[in-house]
Copies of this chain bind each other. A is one copy, B any other.
């Protein structure tokens, strides 16, 4: 089957999926969770093969870690599917409605989108989670995982297929895995305009650039996270330290980790050296501007490109700024519209930052690490949107729907 054929199959299956009741969808999801549990041994075995191959190919320890399905992760995956079954169904929700002077009742109603394609990297839990999120929202899913996780993904798909096969109302094409690992196959997916209603690419800059260049299908881009934290001189110093350390060190490899710290100049001498000591003792390399190096000489000199780098590692760029306006201007210039935070006690400064920073999510007196579907209360997320249209920030189940207008009349006709 070509990629286009896979997408066509999904599109043909959609007419059966979009009308499923919530009860039926939830029953399917619970069966999917049970099937994963029942096939736990086979899935782990397949994953062992993927991990062994990755190791043999000299893949980095970080990537091998992401690829590995431990027992704990398997349990997490199964419980994620059950969480999705428990989430409220967004389909059929009347978002708003009103009656016009001529008596027409206009309702704006959430509906499934159609065929949702997701391109993702090594984490094999994504396969089952995205399948469950798409089905819950009445969509079909076309999944393109990493070639590195192919054996695992096939084993997961086999388990999901066995659950789907037990539901007569649900055709086999509702979730489809693309098994061709070539870049050409990915491009074909990006261009399957006739059959794909939404593509969510989750990955590094190379994938995003490829999507921007080749995609003709509608996309919600899960792009880079060059996240900023600005510490205002009005900040509570202990809170400033706690948020800074949390944003950088609690999980440096994820997109909501801080990459640049902006500090008000009044804090450069008294507060900054202490927090840099604490970060350094946690293993963070500091790259600072001239003022930073003056007050904390162990810092490496930051170069222009440091402001634009998403390290995803224990490295931090630090800049001293004269005021909140300069911090906002720095973020305007270098930010990736993912997540930015401020620590401030001055209400005007905090509200100005919240209003003027043009980013998916702005955090006041808390850490950028909360830019996450789970932390927002969405249950399980598809990713984090760095674009402005359709959805910004964490992408929950609701973002997998579209809003249709339904207009109820009693025979009204229009004059002009």
A residues within 8 Å of B by Cβ? 15, 18-19, 98, 100, 104, 106, 111, 113-114, 193, 197-198, 212-213, 216, 218, 220, 236, 239, 242-243, 245-246, 250-251, 332, 354-356, 358-367, 369-371, 375-377, 387-394, 402-416
Do B405 and A392 touch (CB < 8 A)? Answer: yes
Which residues of chain B have C-beta atoms less than 8 A from A391's C-beta?
403
Contact of A414 among B193, B375, B390 (CB under 8 A): B375
Q: What are 22 contact pairs spanning A and B, CB under 8 A?
A: A18-B358, A19-B355, A104-B375, A106-B376, A106-B377, A198-B388, A218-B387, A239-B411, A242-B411, A243-B413, A250-B414, A251-B416, A360-B404, A361-B404, A361-B405, A362-B406, A365-B410, A370-B407, A370-B409, A370-B414, A388-B402, A389-B402
Which residues of chain B have C-beta atoms less than 8 A from A414's C-beta?
246, 250, 367, 369-370, 375
The smallest C-beta distance from A355 to any residue of chain B, in angstroms, reads 7
The distance in angstroms between the C-alpha atoms of A205 and B332, with both chains bound, is 37
The distance in angstroms between the C-alpha atoms of A213 and B375, with both chains bound, is 38
The smallest C-beta distance from A44 to any residue of chain B, in angstroms, reads 23
Which residues of chain B have C-beta atoms less than 8 A from A412's C-beta?
366-367, 370
The distance in angstroms between the C-alpha atoms of A359 and B404, with both chains bound, is 7
Do A216 and B220 touch (CB < 8 A)? Answer: no
A106 nearest CB neighbor, chain B only: B376
Do B413 and A246 touch (CB < 8 A)? Answer: yes
- Choose among A100, A239, A369, A409 the residue with the greatest number of B CB atoms under 10 Å from its CB: A409
Which residues of chain B have C-beta atoms less than 8 A from A216's C-beta?
212-213
With contacts A198-B389, A220-B389, A250-B416 taken as known, whether A365 is within 8 angstroms of B408 at the C-beta atoms is yes
The smallest C-beta distance from A339 to any residue of chain B, in angstroms, reads 9
The distance in angstroms between the C-alpha atoms of A414 and B258, with both chains bound, is 13
Do A367 and B402 touch (CB < 8 A)? Answer: no
| A-B complex: 9 closest residue pairs judged by Cβ atoms | A366-B409, A246-B413, A361-B405, A369-B414, A239-B411, A388-B402, A389-B390, A393-B405, A390-B390
Which residues of chain B have C-beta atoms less than 8 A from A355's C-beta?
19
The distance in angstroms between the C-alpha atoms of A370 and B416, with both chains bound, is 10
The smallest C-beta distance from A176 to any residue of chain B, in angstroms, reads 20
